[in-house]
Protein backbone atom coordinates (compact mmCIF):
# COMPACT_ATOMS: atom_id res chain seq x y z
CA UNK A 1 0.00 0.00 0.00
CA UNK A 2 2.86 2.40 0.80
CA UNK A 3 4.57 1.76 -2.53
CA UNK A 4 1.28 2.36 -4.35
CA UNK A 5 0.88 5.62 -2.47
CA UNK A 6 4.41 6.75 -3.34
CA UNK A 7 3.78 5.88 -7.00
CA UNK A 8 0.49 7.78 -6.78
CA UNK A 9 2.35 10.84 -5.49
CA UNK A 10 4.74 10.69 -8.45
CA UNK A 11 1.86 10.20 -10.91
CA UNK A 12 -0.13 13.12 -9.48
CA UNK A 13 2.85 15.47 -9.52
CA UNK A 14 3.77 14.26 -13.02
CA UNK A 15 0.22 14.72 -14.34
CA UNK A 16 0.17 18.22 -12.84
CA UNK A 17 3.42 19.12 -14.59
CA UNK A 18 2.22 17.69 -17.92
CA UNK A 19 -0.99 19.72 -17.75
CA UNK A 20 1.00 22.83 -16.83
CA UNK A 21 3.31 22.17 -19.79
CA UNK A 22 0.21 22.13 -22.01
CA UNK A 23 -0.98 25.37 -20.40
CA UNK A 24 2.36 27.09 -21.01
CA UNK A 25 2.76 25.90 -24.61
CA UNK A 26 -0.83 25.95 -25.86
CA UNK A 27 -2.86 28.18 -23.55
CA UNK A 28 -0.43 30.98 -22.76
CA UNK A 29 -0.21 32.19 -26.39
CA UNK A 30 -4.01 32.57 -26.67
CA UNK A 31 -4.75 33.50 -23.04
CA UNK A 32 -8.18 31.85 -22.78
CA UNK A 33 -10.15 28.97 -24.25
CA UNK A 34 -13.73 27.92 -23.56
CA UNK A 35 -14.06 24.46 -22.06
CA UNK A 36 -17.37 23.49 -20.49
CA UNK A 37 -20.49 25.37 -21.55
CA UNK A 38 -24.13 24.97 -22.55
CA UNK A 39 -24.72 27.23 -25.52
CA UNK A 40 -23.56 30.68 -24.45
CA UNK A 41 -23.70 29.74 -20.75
CA UNK A 42 -20.11 29.30 -19.58
CA UNK A 43 -19.39 26.92 -16.68
CA UNK A 44 -15.65 26.26 -16.82
CA UNK A 45 -12.95 27.68 -19.02
CA UNK A 46 -9.20 27.65 -19.43
CA UNK A 47 -7.35 30.88 -18.67
CA UNK A 48 -3.59 31.16 -18.38
CA UNK A 49 -2.42 32.82 -15.19
CA UNK A 50 0.82 32.89 -13.22
CA UNK A 51 0.44 33.21 -9.47
CA UNK A 52 3.34 34.20 -7.22
CA UNK A 53 1.32 33.71 -4.03
CA UNK A 54 -0.67 31.00 -2.32
CA UNK A 55 -4.45 30.65 -1.95
CA UNK A 56 -6.25 33.62 -3.52
CA UNK A 57 -2.80 35.23 -4.09
CA UNK A 58 -2.09 35.46 -0.36
CA UNK A 59 1.61 35.76 0.51
CA UNK A 60 2.20 37.18 -2.95
CA UNK A 61 5.88 37.76 -3.65
CA UNK A 62 7.04 35.63 -0.70
CA UNK A 63 8.58 32.87 -2.82
CA UNK A 64 11.09 31.53 -0.31
CA UNK A 65 8.64 31.51 2.57
CA UNK A 66 6.21 29.51 0.42
CA UNK A 67 8.95 27.10 -0.70
CA UNK A 68 10.13 26.49 2.87
CA UNK A 69 6.59 26.18 4.28
CA UNK A 70 5.42 23.85 1.50
CA UNK A 71 8.57 21.72 1.81
CA UNK A 72 8.11 21.38 5.57
CA UNK A 73 4.44 20.46 5.15
CA UNK A 74 5.24 17.86 2.49
CA UNK A 75 7.93 16.29 4.71
CA UNK A 76 5.52 16.24 7.68
CA UNK A 77 2.78 14.65 5.55
CA UNK A 78 5.23 12.11 4.14
CA UNK A 79 6.41 11.14 7.64
CA UNK A 80 2.78 10.84 8.77
CA UNK A 81 2.01 8.72 5.69
CA UNK A 82 4.95 6.38 6.30
CA UNK A 83 4.08 5.98 9.99
CA UNK A 84 0.30 5.64 9.67
CA UNK A 85 -0.52 4.24 6.20
CA UNK A 86 -1.69 0.92 7.65
CA UNK A 87 -4.46 2.58 9.66
CA UNK A 88 -6.78 3.57 6.86
CA UNK A 89 -7.09 3.67 3.09
CA UNK A 90 -8.84 7.04 3.45
CA UNK A 91 -5.89 8.45 5.39
CA UNK A 92 -3.45 7.09 2.82
CA UNK A 93 -5.45 8.48 -0.10
CA UNK A 94 -5.80 11.91 1.50
CA UNK A 95 -2.08 12.20 2.26
CA UNK A 96 -1.21 10.94 -1.24
CA UNK A 97 -3.34 13.70 -2.78
CA UNK A 98 -1.94 16.40 -0.51
CA UNK A 99 1.68 15.42 -1.10
CA UNK A 100 1.24 14.94 -4.87
CA UNK A 101 -0.44 18.30 -5.28
CA UNK A 102 1.98 20.04 -2.95
CA UNK A 103 4.96 18.72 -4.89
CA UNK A 104 3.37 19.78 -8.19
CA UNK A 105 3.11 23.40 -7.03
CA UNK A 106 6.49 23.24 -5.26
CA UNK A 107 8.14 22.31 -8.58
CA UNK A 108 6.66 25.48 -10.10
CA UNK A 109 7.81 27.67 -7.21
CA UNK A 110 11.36 26.35 -7.47
CA UNK A 111 11.81 26.12 -11.26
CA UNK A 112 9.50 28.87 -12.60
CA UNK A 113 10.91 31.79 -10.59
CA UNK A 114 8.26 31.41 -7.90
CA UNK A 115 5.33 31.47 -10.32
CA UNK A 116 2.70 28.72 -10.16
CA UNK A 117 0.84 28.13 -13.43
CA UNK A 118 -2.96 28.23 -13.03
CA UNK A 119 -5.44 27.51 -15.81
CA UNK A 120 -8.87 26.36 -14.55
CA UNK A 121 -11.32 29.25 -14.47
CA UNK A 122 -14.79 28.71 -12.98
CA UNK A 123 -17.12 30.84 -15.12
CA UNK A 124 -20.33 29.78 -13.39
CA UNK A 125 -19.54 32.21 -10.57
CA UNK A 126 -16.57 34.46 -9.89
CA UNK A 127 -13.87 32.31 -8.33
CA UNK A 128 -10.09 31.97 -8.34
CA UNK A 129 -8.17 30.49 -11.25
CA UNK A 130 -6.50 27.28 -10.07
CA UNK A 131 -4.78 24.10 -11.28
CA UNK A 132 -4.80 20.31 -10.91
CA UNK A 133 -2.34 20.38 -8.00
CA UNK A 134 -4.64 22.76 -6.12
CA UNK A 135 -7.54 20.35 -6.69
CA UNK A 136 -5.47 17.46 -5.31
CA UNK A 137 -4.52 19.41 -2.19
CA UNK A 138 -8.07 20.61 -1.51
CA UNK A 139 -9.65 17.18 -2.01
CA UNK A 140 -6.88 15.63 0.11
CA UNK A 141 -7.39 18.12 2.94
CA UNK A 142 -11.17 17.54 2.90
CA UNK A 143 -10.64 13.76 3.04
CA UNK A 144 -8.05 14.16 5.82
CA UNK A 145 -10.45 16.34 7.82
CA UNK A 146 -13.18 13.71 7.34
CA UNK A 147 -10.82 10.99 8.53
CA UNK A 148 -9.68 13.00 11.56
CA UNK A 149 -13.25 13.89 12.53
CA UNK A 150 -15.09 10.66 11.75
CA UNK A 151 -12.47 8.01 11.00
CA UNK A 152 -11.47 4.88 12.83
CA UNK A 153 -9.36 6.85 15.31
CA UNK A 154 -12.50 8.38 16.82
CA UNK A 155 -14.03 5.04 17.76
CA UNK A 156 -14.18 4.23 21.45
CA UNK A 157 -12.00 1.29 22.56
CA UNK A 158 -15.08 -0.91 23.09
CA UNK A 159 -16.31 -0.18 19.55
CA UNK A 160 -12.88 -1.06 18.12
CA UNK A 161 -12.93 -4.38 19.93
CA UNK A 162 -16.47 -5.11 18.67
CA UNK A 163 -15.51 -4.33 15.06
CA UNK A 164 -12.49 -6.65 15.34
CA UNK A 165 -14.66 -9.47 16.72
CA UNK A 166 -17.29 -9.08 13.99
pLDDT in single tens digits along all 166 residues of the chain: 889 999 999 999 999 999 999 999 999 999 999 899 888 888 899 999 999 988 767 888 888 999 999 999 999 999 999 999 888 999 999 999 999 999 999 999 999 999 999 999 998 888 889 999 999 999 999 999 999 999 865 555 555 566 566 5
Residue 158 belongs to some domain of the structure: no
User: In Å, what is the CA distance from 16 to each residue of 1, 58, 97?
Assistant: 22, 21, 12
Give yes or no: 118 in active site: yes
Mention every residue, 6+ apart, whose C-beta is less than 8 A from residue 48. 23, 24, 27, 28, 30, 31, 32, 117, 118, 119
Find the catalytic residue in 16, 108, 121, 134. Answer: 134
Residue 25 maps to a domain: yes
Domain of residue 100 covers 2-149
- Are the C-beta atoms of 30 and 21 separated by less than 8 Å? no
**Is residue 159 situated within a structural domain?**
no
The whole model's pTM is what?
Answer: 0.86
Q: Is residue 160 part of a domain?
A: no
The one catalytic residue in 16, 108, 118, 121 is: 118
pLDDT, position 17: 98
Instruction: Report how many domains make up the chain.
Output: 1
Q: Is residue 166 part of a domain?
A: no
Q: Are 33 and 46 in contact (CB under 8 A)?
A: yes
Angle between helix 2-22 and 63-84 (nearest 10): 150
108 is catalytic: no
Residues 6+ apart with CB under 8 A from 119: 19, 20, 23, 27, 46, 47, 48, 49, 129, 131
* 162, part of any domain: no
Kindly state whether residue 165 falls inside one of the protein's structural domains. no
* Burial 42-55, CB ≥16 within 10 A → b, else e: eeebbbbbbbbbbe
**Does residue 30 lie within any of the structural domains?**
yes
pLDDT for position 140:
98
Amino acid sequence: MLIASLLGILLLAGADQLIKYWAVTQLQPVGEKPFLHFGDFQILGFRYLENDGAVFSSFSGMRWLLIVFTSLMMVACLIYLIREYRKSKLLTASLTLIIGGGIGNLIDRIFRDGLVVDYLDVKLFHFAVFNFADCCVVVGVVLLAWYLLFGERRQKPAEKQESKNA
